[in-house]
């Protein structure tokens, strides 16, 4: 994508910062005897926002690209996810090792995370692989990765029928979720949320504007899945908070439905006030992925300075600085360097083969 859409970048930056606050301020944000931490209790919804943005960006960039080969598509997505992720794995492993000599390294969990099979077993049923070293935000990467892998063959072979196909498999997967919730059917019906970004991008590219009438099938599909997940709550709810399955999945889809409507309304009113609110987070966007996948062990759940610094405020400041520096290093320096090396080699090989 030659020119990034500024508002999408700003929303991405905002969502990343919100998730950091969500995890960091879970123990309370007290002012004048009032706990304001409830403002940041919607970290799950921020991740759903990431999914929608991701679908939009992938469709937008793919439609503008001249190279639609799977090799190029796969390499771009692989490098974008795995280069920063392996850096996070390594740093997290080193921090845990030097701070907890008794920690147990689970090879199964590590391999499962590399294969993008991870989720959070404390929140959802029938999860086999948990996030590596308890880095909770990594749950969304498995969804993101398989959304990427589903997108290419569906767009390549189904073309104009792709949206209806996604809606159909999503609804069928949601129905099976009533009887046996698992990794596969969760991925498939959550794909509809990610695909909503694809639909928004298509409408935008074709018409240079987005109208509600053009999203009719999308809203119908989301609504049907919401009905199915509501039924799932009635059938399978056994107690617990709104942050646990089966209410959690329903929360995600209701939020998707509502946030798209809110975005359309804000879009209709020319994004009034956007630049002075969410727009200020555009500067964070270039390192937002690094912040998202590293903040949990570098800031929110960090303890590696406990033996050195006692003042919690000073520790928090250093944690934040470390996370920003690390995210900048992997996002703005290391990842671009690795990406350039791979694509330069690919171009050289292609040129050589054509001689």
**pLDDT tens-digit map of 134-149:** 999 999 999 999 999 9
> Tell me: the pLDDT tens digits for 246-300?
999 999 999 999 999 999 999 989 899 999 999 999 999 999 999 999 999 999 9
**Count of CA atoms in the C-beta half-sphere (13 A) of 236:** 21
14: Cβ contacts below 8 Å, ≥ 6 apart: 278, 281, 284
> Tell me: the pLDDT tens digits for 144-171?
999 999 999 999 999 999 999 999 999 9
Question: Shortest CA distance to 127 belongs to which of 137, 138, 139?
Answer: 139
Question: Shortest CA distance to 59 belongs to which of 174, 150, 171?
Answer: 150
Q: Three-state DSSP class for 277?
A: coil
Q: Which helix (H) or strand (E) holds 323?
A: helix 312-328
**Count of CA atoms in the C-beta half-sphere (13 A) of 279:** 8
Question: Shortest CA distance to 235 belongs to which of 250, 213, 252?
Answer: 250
Q: CA-CA distance, 84 to 336, in Å (whole number)?
A: 10
CA 187 vs CA 123, 143, 177, 182, 338: distances in Å: 15, 6, 11, 9, 29
Cβ distance 19 to 43 under 8 Å?
A: yes
Binned at pLDDT 50, 70 and 90, residue 104 comes out as confident
Binned at pLDDT 50, 70 and 90, residue 343 comes out as confident
At residue 337, the pLDDT reads 95
Of 89-103, 144-158, 207-221, which one has max mean pLDDT?
Answer: 144-158
Question: Shortest CA distance to 195 belongs to which of 59, 350, 346, 20?
Answer: 59
Beta strands in the chain (DSSP E): 30-31, 34-35, 118-119, 129-130
Rg (CA), the chain: 21
Query: 216-236 and 162-177 are packed helices; what angle lies between their axes, rounded to 10 degrees?
Result: 10
* Whether the predicted model's global pTM rises above the 0.75 cut: yes
Q: CA-CA distance, 140 to 121, in Å (whole number)?
A: 13
Token reading at 141: 């990467």
């Amino acid at each position: 994508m030659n020119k990034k859409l500024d508002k999408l970048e700003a929303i991405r930056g905002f969502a990343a910062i919100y998730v950091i606050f969500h995890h960091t301020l879970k123990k309370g944000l007290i002012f004048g005897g009032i706990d304001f931490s409830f403002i940041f209790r919607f970290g799950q919804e921020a991740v759903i926002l990431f999914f929608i943005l991701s679908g939009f960006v992938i469709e937008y960039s793919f439609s503008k690209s001249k190279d639609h080969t799977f090799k190029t598509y796969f390499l771009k997505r692989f490098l974008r996810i795995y280069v920063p992720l392996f850096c996070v794995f390594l740093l997290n492993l080193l921090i845990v090792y030097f701070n907890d000599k008794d920690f147990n390294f689970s090879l199964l969990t590590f391999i499962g995370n590399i294969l993008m099979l991870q989720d959070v077993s404390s929140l959802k049923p029938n999860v086999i692989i948990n996030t590596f070293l308890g880095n909770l935000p990594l749950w969304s990467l498995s969804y993101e990765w398989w959304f990427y892998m589903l997108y290419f063959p569906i767009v390549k072979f189904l073309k104009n029928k792709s949206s209806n196909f996604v809606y159909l498999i999503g609804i069928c997967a949601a129905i099976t979720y009533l009887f046996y919730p698992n990794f596969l059917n969760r991925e498939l019906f959550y794909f509809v949320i990610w695909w909503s970004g694809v639909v928004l991008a298509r409408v935008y590219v074709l018409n240079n504007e987005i109208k509600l009438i053009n999203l009719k099938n999308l809203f119908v599909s989301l609504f049907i899945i919401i009905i199915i997940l509501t039924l799932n709550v009635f059938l399978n709810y056994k107690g617990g908070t709104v942050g646990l399955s089966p209410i959690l999945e329903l929360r995600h889809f209701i939020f998707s439905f509502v946030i798209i409507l809110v975005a359309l309304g804000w879009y209709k009113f020319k994004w009034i006030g956007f630049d002075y609110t969410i727009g200020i987070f555009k500067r964070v966007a270039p390192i937002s992925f690094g912040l998202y996948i590293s903040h949990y062990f570098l800031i929110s759940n960090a303890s590696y300075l406990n033996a050195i610094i006692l003042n919690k405020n000073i520790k928090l400041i250093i944690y934040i600085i470390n996370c920003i520096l690390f995210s900048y290093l992997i996002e703005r320096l290391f990842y671009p360097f690795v990406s350039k090396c791979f694509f330069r080699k690919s171009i050289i090989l292609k040129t050589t083969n054509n001689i």
